[in-house]
Amino acid sequence: MNTNNEDRLQALKPYDDGFFASYPTGFTKFLRTFIPYQFMRFVVINLKMLRMISKSHK
């Protein structure tokens, strides 16, 4: 089982194309800077946190 992981680690060489993170697409950049979308995500995350905290306080 470990040999598979070791083989995979040996196959990765520094500075290979798979070693670096991908670039964001134009749509991803748009969503990161679109204020209404960011506000909606903020509200959703806060509601999830409130639900989780309320479950832990019972």
35 falls within a domain: yes
- The pLDDT of residue 26: 95
Q: How far is it between the farthest Cα atoms of the chain?
A: 51
7 falls within a domain: no
User: Based on the structure, what is the number of domains in the chain?
Assistant: 1
Measure the CA–CA gap between 42 and 48, rounded to whole angstroms: 10
Phi, psi of 16 (to 5 degrees): -75, 165
Q: Decide if pLDDT at 37 tops 80.
A: yes
Are 19 and 12 in contact by the 8 Å Cβ rule? The answer is: yes
18 falls within a domain: no
37 falls within a domain: yes
Average pLDDT, the chain: 84
38 falls within a domain: yes
50 falls within a domain: yes
Q: Which domain holds residue 55?
A: 24-58
- The pLDDT of residue 25: 94
